[in-house]
Amino acid sequence: VANFLNSSSELIAFTSGATDSLNMVATMWGLENLADGDEVMLCNEDHASSVLPWYNVQELLSRRGVNIKIIPFAVHSTGTYDRKSFRAGLGPKTRIVCLSHIHHLYGMEMDIAELKTLVPEQVFVSLDASQSVSHIKVDAEALAVDFISFSAHKMFGCNGTGVLWSSPRAVAQMWPTRVGAKTTLSSGSGRFNVARDKLSQLVECGTLNLPGILSLKAAIEFIESNGIERMSDYISGLTIYLLEKLKSVEGIEFAPGIGVCDCTKGFGIISFRINGFDSADIGAYLDSEEIFVKTGDQCLGSGKTDDDLIRISLQIYNTAQEVDRFLEVLNEAISS
Ligand SMILES: Cc1ncc(COP(=O)(O)O)c(C=O)c1O
């Protein structure tokens, strides 16, 4: 994992998945470091697992008399973060900014390097890499953020395993929320104290999910043997192929993302609705032909479920023939 992220093992811990990792960022760092009046910036259109842990921390802190603010920023109609609202949200009280690397519903890569130029050095940055880790290179050194979270099962591994990466300055400021066997205690102060020089000492306790971790190893070897750039190019080509075909579907209305922006690179995700049709009905029709798409709750942090979008998500195991078949069945569903 350390080599895969271009980092060192001291900064990595195994978790039960991205949701677990993102909750750890909020509780292990947030509860420990946020003070009255501090601000957390996030986008409510990001995944619920990236957003809700901060509302929970806000609630937990308020019960102790510490009131933090959550400052939301928006997604632009093209599918990347709206720079204007991002800039407007930053202020002297901002302590952490939470970002997605590739958006789970709009499928756009956020320009982390450019966003980081707007964020002052002392402000922490948490990155949800769940959708990017098997699509583009996730290089902890180059990204230069403070936290990176992802799940093994979104990169061909098993369910129930994930990774949290933290920068050295973040590790030094985190406090465990779970302890037990394997927790490394540090002596000296006469009080309960944990060693804070390795992330795994703070996060991992009890028996780890070894089969899941071994599946992650195999998944990394699989990605490295294919080459992430090659995978990325293949998925991009297939996304654009799908997009061009979708454009001719009667009544299609694209959600933010590659369907509405003039981008030349795709990341496998296209979301849309078909005017006059319930997405769940179209989903059920596709399902009956063994074509699996996501409809209904799209796991937005805002909890918004009324958008009625159909989300397609492609990986390297999908082919142009499958895209053709999908279009055939989609047109059948619409005309039946
Ligand atoms: C962007 C993003 N973040 C977080 C998660 C949560 O991942 P998990 O359910 O593996 O914890 C997902 C899952 O769909 C996701 O797409």
HSE-CB for 230 with a 13 A CA cutoff? 7
- d(C-alpha 332, C-alpha 326), whole Å: 10
With contact defined as beta carbons under 8 Å apart, do 130 and 149 qualify? yes
Alpha carbon of 86 to ligand 1 centroid (Å): 23
CA separation (Å) from 136 to 4, 109, 255?
12, 9, 22
Alpha carbon of 258 to ligand 1 centroid (Å): 21
- d(C-alpha 194, C-alpha 232), whole Å: 41
Q: Beta-carbon neighbour count of residue 270 at 10 Å?
A: 24
Alpha carbon of 47 to ligand 1 centroid (Å): 7
Atom of ligand 1 nearest to the CA of 299: 14
Alpha carbon of 146 to ligand 1 centroid (Å): 19
Atom of ligand 1 nearest to the CA of 19: 11
Taking 70 as the pLDDT cut, the residues of the chain under it are 306
Alpha carbon of 19 to ligand 1 centroid (Å): 6
Pick the closest to residue 235 from 312, 156, 293, 315 (CA basis): 315
The DSSP 8-state label assigned to residue 155 in this structure reads G
- d(C-alpha 131, C-alpha 111), whole Å: 14
Question: What is the reported pLDDT for 105?
Answer: 96
With contact defined as beta carbons under 8 Å apart, do 105 and 307 qualify? no
Atom of ligand 1 nearest to the CA of 22: 4
Alpha carbon of 336 to ligand 1 centroid (Å): 34
Alpha carbon of 329 to ligand 1 centroid (Å): 28
Q: Beta-carbon neighbour count of residue 253 at 10 Å?
A: 12
Closest residue by CA, ligand 1 atom 16: 104
Alpha carbon of 103 to ligand 1 centroid (Å): 10
- d(C-alpha 32, C-alpha 40), whole Å: 14
Q: Which residue has the tokens 């050194």?
A: 141
| Beta strands, E only, 152-192 | 162-166
Look at the pTM and tell me if it is higher than 0.95. yes
Model confidence pLDDT, tens digit, residues 255-305: 999 999 989 999 999 999 999 999 999 999 999 999 999 998 889 999 887
CA 250 to chain centroid: 32
Question: What is the reported pLDDT for 42?
Answer: 98
Contacts of 227 (CB under 8 A, 6+ apart): none
Closest residue by CA, ligand 1 atom 7: 18
- d(C-alpha 171, C-alpha 29), whole Å: 9
- Residue of 46, 47, 81, 100 to test ligand 1 pocket, by largest number of atoms within 8 Å of CB: 47
Percentages helix, strand, coil for the chain, rounded to the nearest 5? 40, 15, 45
Contacts of 43 (CB under 8 A, 6+ apart): 51, 72, 73, 74, 75, 81, 98, 99, 100, 301
The helix/strand/coil state of 177 is: coil
Pick the closest to residue 268 from 203, 323, 209 (CA basis): 323
Alpha carbon of 195 to ligand 1 centroid (Å): 30
With contact defined as beta carbons under 8 Å apart, do 241 and 314 qualify? no
The strand order across the sheet containing 310-313 reads 252-254, 269-274, 310-313
Ligand 1 proximal residues by C-beta, below 6 Å:
17-19, 47, 49-50, 100, 104, 128, 130-131, 151
With contact defined as beta carbons under 8 Å apart, do 170 and 163 qualify? no
Single-letter residue type at 93:
K
Closest residue by CA, ligand 1 atom 15: 130
- Residue of 22, 45, 130 to test ligand 1 pocket, by largest number of atoms within 8 Å of CB: 130
